[in-house]
Amino acid sequence: MTKYIFIFFLFISLQSIAQQKNNDDSTASKVTLSGVYSGKNIYIQNPWTDDTFKSYCTDSVFVNGTHYIIDLNQSVFEIKLDSLMKVQGKKFTAIIYHKKNCTPKALVSMGFPSSRSKVEFTSFAIDSTGHVHITTRNDSTGNRPPLKIEQFQENTWITVLNIPQKWGVKNSYDTIITLTAGTHTFRLCESMYENTGKIVTVKSASNNKIVQARLIRINGNNNTLLKNDTIFFDEIFVNGNQKIDLKFCLEKFSYPHSLPFDIYWAKPDTAGKSIDEITYIRSKYLFDKTGRVTLYYYKGSTLSGIFPLPYTFEYNSEKPNQIESIKDLYYKITYLIHYNNRNDIHTIEKIDSLNSRIEILIIDMK
């Protein structure tokens, strides 16, 4: 009887869970785990947000007030208290912020990961189109943490796909990974156990690439980065022949600001257009002899009576179709546009009236 009372007390002291609103975000909830470190890590079951299976429930994890960095794109993750607490007997509080329509669950009481079904990877292959084929053999009993496929990127393994294990003794899995151009290295393992799987290298038949972009705001007075003022845009998969031009930047990043998505970069054919359409174009644009746009009026026109804001466009003398600067004449802002060897836009710098750089959009294609 004493033994059972001790176990019950130990479990209560190890975790107490409370769901409540996050003070910083009214749409977020949190699970709080508090206890005394006894030499064991905590495993968290991380369900899908909803039945679309597009994202997992957990948004972030904090341990004793410090942001705990971990890959949350998996159905089970581990809070490694052994690397944080060092000494047993210390108190800890882990806060798991999550989306409000789902709830992560601590798996301490399940004895994870000691009792598990041992899995043998009998085959693992990825073809040049991204088709993945896996076969496994499992023990008939025990827990089965999800499988995960990792990709070796920038000298580290990054999880790209989680696969729930099936419950047969012999199992087969088929799925798809989106490949970009080039040669890639992948590893298959169990989500709870590193370095247990197989590694394959595949050369993609696709010429798809990933576009990564970030907008950095800068203190123009001393050219230093403003704290917590960098915007990271979602990765964009594009065909390898996709040009990263001003049209692309406006559609994907709304940059430079104030210019519309449907701006005419060249003089349009007005045949068949109405008088009103032709008048509108003439009131908003000026084009040079070759048809390139040289002046655009934003917000209103001389016809509407709203004071227009003029933008001028300057071109590279050696590459006549390449815009190298855009000037906002009203606010005295200049956008300097830089290109890479493929003639894709690599950076756009925003310069204020004092000739200080205040923003920079950086675009990388991988």
- The 3-class SS string of 138-190 reads ECCCCECCCEEEEEEECCEEEEEEEECCCCCCEEEEEEECCCCCCEEEEEEEE
Is 133 found in the same domain as 36?
no
Q: How far apart are CA 77 and CA 184, in angstroms?
A: 25
Residues 267 and 156 in one domain: no
Q: According to the model, what pLDDT value does residue 4 have?
A: 42
CATH number at residue 137: 2.60.40
Q: Residue 23's pLDDT is what?
A: 41
Residue 94 shares a structural domain with residue 165: no
Domain co-membership, 38 together with 69: yes
Q: Are residues 176 and 311 in the same domain?
A: no
Residue 248 sits in the same domain as residue 147: no
Enclosing domain of residue 169: 119-203
- pLDDT of 16: 41
Same domain, residue pair 128 and 267: no
Q: Mark whether 310 and 222 lie in a shared domain.
A: yes
Of the residues 75, 110, 145, the one at which a domain ends = 110
Task: Write out the DSSP string of 283-307.
Answer: HHEEE-TTSBEEEEEES--TTTTSP
pLDDT at residue number 131: 92
Residues 93, 94, 95, CA angle at the centre, nearest 5°?
120
Q: Which of 150, 169, 203 is the last residue of a domain?
A: 203
Q: What's residue 115's pLDDT? A: 58
* Structure-token pair, residue 243: 């040009």
Looking at the fold, whether 188 and 246 belong to one and the same domain comes out as no
What is the DSSP code (8-state) at residue 266? B
Same domain, yes or no: 328 and 221: yes
Whether residue 219 sits in one domain with residue 358: yes
Three-state DSSP class for residue 334: strand
Domain termination residue (choose one: 173, 203, 233): 203
- 272 shares its domain with 361: yes
Q: How far apart are CA 279 and CA 303, in angstroms?
A: 9
Rounded CA-CA distance 315/317 in Å is: 6
Total domains in the fold of the chain: 3
Please tell me the predicted confidence (pLDDT) of residue 146: 85
Q: Which residues of the chain have pLDDT under 70?
A: 1-28, 38-39, 86-89, 108-116, 191-196, 220-228, 299-306
Q: How high is the pLDDT of residue 257? A: 85
Of residues 329, 285, 293, the one with CA closest to residue 311: 329
For 116, half-sphere exposure in the C-beta direction (CA atoms, 13 angstrom radius) is: 15
